[in-house]
Amino acid sequence: MRERMIPLVTMLLAGAVTGILCIWKQYDTLYSLKALLGVLIGFYILGLIARKLYRKVTAEKPVPEGEETGEEGEAGEASLGEGGQME
């Protein structure tokens, strides 16, 4: 659910900032609407990219069949000194 909201929240925040700035600077209505449309489309696309990156970063990586968690391989045994203690 949260992932779905990333583009929407990004777009709406950018639209709110654009609307406030257009009112504050007293831009013409038609110019303000064109600017708002461009900002909404642009930031929606940026939000889609951010969502894709978020999903890629938070995706669980599959564990290969040969590797189990908790087992020590050859590298773990090689680092042990005499008496089975770490050097």
| Domain residue ranges of the chain, discontinuous segments joined by + | 2-56
Cβ pair 52, 4 in contact under 8 A? no
State how far the Cα of 87 lies from the Cα of 81, in Å rounded to an integer. Answer: 6
Confidence class for position 66, pLDDT limits 50, 70, 90: confident
Quote the pLDDT of residue 72.
56
The pTM (predicted TM-score) of the whole model is 0.65
What confidence tens digit (pLDDT) does each residue in 12-61 have? 999 999 999 999 999 999 999 999 999 999 999 999 999 999 999 998 88
